[in-house]
């Protein structure tokens, strides 16, 4: 399992992530996740592994005049989160670990965690912490990606990575898709003491202007940037172009129509309560 605690995006990566990957990918999942949690006006919301803050910002518009807290270990991502204006309820951005939440028990009405649980080194402990900080009548909503084979664009990309950069180059990306079955997520939640657990298989259609755009942002705006960090600018650009060409070659032609790169992306989305 890839350890999210080691994911530190530096330089322009968090800015690129917010500018390009959030609108193309994470905002779609954020709207779905917040919609399932249904935060209400006046409530207190915690967004764990908040990144640059898209889930927190969407939730803040729903709970005004309530309050939202975004927590993440990544200083660079939090810096970008603080720089993006929000029209909703106040948001506090806190650097901290999902394994040791710096909050009192029962402090939140809603806890959200988008596409982060799969990276936590101790998932059971993280879920126990989420349950601890929820009020007895609170709600949890979280999401994780399903097997990478169910997201064909990402599957073509990781195959291209390993072919161009060598076996194991795709480890981080494959780590995003650690959950194989919905039952795995359901069992984790029930094992952590959650009740009323529902796990949904959800699909979003993802689209980028081109394969090169998708590959570029994956290798410049995510922790995978480390794969090319020791290369010169020219060598980095050449590698990205080669990986993009290989990704296109391995992709179904229907994903490449009109020059765009478009494919379905699948995730498991769960809702639960701390007690029955």
Predicted confidence at residue 11, as pLDDT, reads 53
Predicted confidence at residue 275, as pLDDT, reads 85
Which ranges constitute the DSSP H helices of the chain?
13-16, 27-37, 54-63, 75-83, 123-133, 152-165, 171-175, 182-191, 211-220, 233-250
* Mean pLDDT over the full length of the chain: 94
Per-residue pLDDT for 131 more than 60? yes
Enumerate the β-bridge partners of residue 144: 268
Instruction: Report DSSP letters for 164-194, one per residue.
Output: HH-TTTTHHHHHTT---SHHHHHHHHHHTT-
DSSP 267: E
Give the pLDDT mean for 222-242.
93
d(CA 111, CA 116): 13
Q: Which residues of 90-119 are buried (b: 16+ CB within 10 A; e: fewer)?
A: ebebeeebbbebebeeebbbbbbbbbbbbb
pTM as predicted: 0.94
The answer to whether the beta carbons of residues 113 and 244 sit under 8 Å apart is no
d(CA 151, CA 47): 25
The CATH code belonging to domain 4-273 is 3.40.50.150
pLDDT digits (tens, 9 = 90+) for 61-77: 999 999 999 999 999 99
Predicted confidence at residue 87, as pLDDT, reads 86
The answer to whether the beta carbons of residues 210 and 261 sit under 8 Å apart is yes
Give the pLDDT mean for 218-246.
94
Predicted confidence at residue 147, as pLDDT, reads 98
Domain segments of the chain: what residues?
A: 4-273
Residue holding tokens 């650097």?
A: 95
Predicted confidence at residue 85, as pLDDT, reads 84
Q: Angle at CA 151, nearest 5°, toward 20 and 160? A: 80
The answer to whether the beta carbons of residues 160 and 250 sit under 8 Å apart is yes
Q: Angle at CA 49, nearest 5°, toward 48 and 53? A: 90
Highest mean pLDDT among 7-16, 125-134, 230-239: 125-134
Which residue in 37, 81, 80 sits closest to 62, CA to CA? Answer: 37
And the tokens for 78? 């939090």
């Amino acid at each position: 399992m890839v350890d999210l605690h080691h994911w530190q995006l530096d330089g322009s990566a968090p800015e690129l992530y917010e500018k390009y990957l959030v609108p193309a990918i994470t905002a779609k999942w954020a709207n779905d996740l917040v919609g399932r949690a249904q935060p209400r006006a006046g409530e207190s919301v915690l967004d764990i592994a908040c990144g640059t803050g898209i889930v927190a910002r969407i939730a803040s518009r729903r709970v005004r005049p309530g309050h939202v807290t975004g927590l993440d270990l990544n200083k660079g991502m939090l810096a970008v989160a603080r720089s993006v204006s929000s029209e909703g309820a106040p948001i506090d951005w806190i650097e901290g670990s999902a394994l040791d939440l710096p909050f009192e028990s029962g402090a939140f009405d809603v806890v959200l965690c988008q596409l982060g649980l799969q990276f936590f080194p101790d998932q059971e402990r993280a879920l126990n912490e989420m349950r601890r900080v929820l009020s007895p009548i609170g709600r949890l909503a979280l999401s994780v990606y399903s097997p990478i084979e169910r997201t064909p664009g990402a599957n073509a990309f990781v195959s291209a990575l390993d072919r161009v950069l060598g076996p194991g180059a795709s480890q981080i990306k494959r780590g995003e898709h650690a959950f194989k079955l919905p039952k795995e997520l359901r069992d984790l939640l029930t094992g952590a003491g959650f009740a009323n657990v529902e796990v949904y298989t959800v699909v979003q259609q993802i689209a980028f202007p081109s394969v090169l755009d998708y590959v570029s942002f994956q290798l410049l705006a995510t922790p995978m940037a480390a794969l090319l960090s020791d290369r010169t600018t020219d060598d980095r650009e050449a590698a990205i172009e080669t990986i993009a060409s290989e990704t296109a070659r391995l992709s179904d032609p229907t994903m490449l129509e009109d020059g765009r790169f478009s494919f379905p992306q699948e995730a498991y989305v769960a809702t639960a309560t701390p007690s029955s």
